[in-house]
C-alpha cells in the first residue's frame, strides 16, 4: 500500500498565489512510486492548477463537494463538476462538521457522490476535546466511520481513504494538546478493528488510514512510524514548501 501525504490548503492563497506555490512544490518534490502526494487548493484554483500540475509528482484534491450532481443548489459545486479536475476529494473535515454544521447524513451522501463520479473520497473522522473528556471517543469514531461508509458497496472499498483527525489536536502548537503516537495508535487500532469487523479482514486491508492534526516535519516521522498509519493529512505545514517537502522525504525514509 502507498503512503499518502495530503496537503489541505484550506482557505489560503489567491489563484495566482496558488499557481506560484504549486510551481515551487513541483521544483522541489521528487517522484516516488510508493508515495502519493496530494494537495487540496481552494475551489477557485482547481481549474488553472489542473492544467499546471505534473500528476506524476502531485495529484489534486478538492476540499469539498455537494452530493447532488446538478440542480437548483445556489452556491454549491457538485462532484460531477470537479471530477475532470481532481483525483481526490476531502469529505467531512472537522471544520465543515463543526463550523459549517455538516451532519453524518451529509457526509455519507457526499462520500457516495464522490465515488459515483470516479474520485477517491478522503473521509475525515475525529472527536472533539469535550467528547474525548467524556469518554465518547469510541462512539464518535464508530458513528462517523460507519455512517460515512454506509452507502459504499464492498466493491468500492478500495476507492476510500480514511483520515483520523482529532479535533482537539488540530492547529495547536501547545505540547499539552498535541496528540501523542500512543493517543493516535489507540484510535487507529479502533478504526482498523471496526473496518475488519464490518467488511472482513481482506477488504478492510484495502483501505488506507491517515492521521491529521498539527503535523509538522518535527513530528512526521513519529506519526508515520505508528503501526497502521498509512500517511498524513497536513494543514498549516503544507503551506510551507520546504517543510512540506521535508515531510515527503521523511515518509520516503520511513518506507525504506
Q: Is 23 a catalytic residue?
A: no
Query: Which among 72, 100, 29 is positioned nearest to 244, based on CA atoms?
Result: 29
98 classed as catalytic: no
36, 95, 102, 165: which one is catalytic? 165
Q: Which has the closest alpha carbon to 165: 216, 235, 252, 63?
A: 235
Length of the chain equals 256
Number of Cβ atoms within 10 Å of the Cβ of 131: 17
Q: Which of 93, 95, 102, 249 is catalytic?
A: 93
The residues carrying an active-site annotation are 93, 165
Amino acid at each position: 500500500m502507498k503512503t499518502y501525504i495530503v496537503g489541505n490548503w484550506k482557505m489560503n492563497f489567491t489563484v495566482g498565489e496558488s499557481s506560484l506555490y504549486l510551481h515551487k512544490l513541483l521544483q522541489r518534490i521528487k517522484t516516488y512510486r510508493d508515495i502519493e502526494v496530494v494537495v487540496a487548493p481552494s475551489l477557485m484554483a482547481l481549474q488553472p492548477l489542473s492544467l499546471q500540475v505534473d500528476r506524476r509528482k502531485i495529484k489534486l484534491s478538492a476540499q469539498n463537494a455537494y452530493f447532488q450532481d446538478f440542480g437548483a443548489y445556489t452556491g454549491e459545486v457538485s462532484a460531477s463538476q470537479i471530477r475532470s479536475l481532481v483525483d481526490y476529494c476531502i469529505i467531512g473535515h472537522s471544520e465543515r462538521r463543526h463550523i459549517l454544521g455538516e451532519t453524518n447524513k451529509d457526509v455519507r451522501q457526499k462520500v457516495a457522490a464522490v465515488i459515483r463520479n470516479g474520485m477517491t473520497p478522503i473521509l475525515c473522522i475525529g472527536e472533539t476535546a469535550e467528547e474525548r473528556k467524556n469518554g465518547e471517543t469510541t462512539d464518535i469514531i464508530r458513528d462517523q466511520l460507519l455512517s460515512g461508509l454506509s452507502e459504499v458497496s464492498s466493491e468500492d472499498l478500495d476507492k476510500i481513504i480514511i483520515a483520523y483527525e482529532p479535533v482537539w489536536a488540530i492547529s495547536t502548537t501547545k505540547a499539552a494538546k498535541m496528540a501523542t503516537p500512543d493517543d493516535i495508535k489507540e484510535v487507529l487500532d479502533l478504526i482498523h478493528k471496526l473496518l475488519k469487523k464490518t467488511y472482513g479482514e481482506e477488504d478492510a486491508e484495502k483501505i488506507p488510514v491517515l492521521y491529521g492534526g498539527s503535523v509538522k516535519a518535527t513530528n512526521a516521522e513519529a506519526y508515520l512510524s505508528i503501526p497502521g498509519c498509512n500517511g498524513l493529512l497536513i494543514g498549516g505545514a503544507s503551506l510551507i514548501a520546504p517543510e512540506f517537502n521535508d515531510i515527503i522525504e521523511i515518509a520516503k525514509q520511513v518506507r525504506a
